[in-house]
Amino acid sequence: MDTNRQISFFIPMRIPTKTFQAKKLAVRNGKPVLYTPPELIKIQQEYISRLTKVAPKNPFPGPVWLKIAFCFKSDEKHQPGIPKPTKPDLDNLEKGLVDCMTKCNFWNDDSQICLEYISKSYEIHEGIYIEVIQL
């Protein structure tokens, strides 16, 4: 039996500032319709492209603990390790990434996430650190 599974990795990338809360509303045939703008589709494709390279062969079964650290590039004003208290909102950053992880079969459904640690800060290396631990 496969117990105590764990996976961790770093995806070096520029963190998108557009988030999945940025869906658009259009009126078609007199009815409101939500749609995903092309820039969000591009972000999804980039996430999925990078996540498929590190996805587990089999989805995590049962409850998982998810840790995500969004690492924004430090500069003269923002030293490494300093929290980033400005936009984009942490929950909006997380939503799009978690949806893409679900599509890449990290788990069967994101309802399996029972414990989370999510952060955003300035760091030397820009990207996203992810750890998934089977509980």
Beta strand residue intervals within the chain, DSSP E: 6-12, 24-28, 31-35, 64-73, 113-123, 127-134
Record the pTM: 0.85
CATH topology for the 6-134 domain: 60s Ribosomal Protein L30; Chain: A; (3.30.1330)
Find the helix or strand (DSSP H, E) in which 101 lies.
helix 90-103
- Encode pLDDT of 25-35 as tens digits: 667 788 887 77
The average pLDDT across 89-115 equals 95
List the chain domain ranges: 6-134
ω into 85 cis (within 30 of 0): no
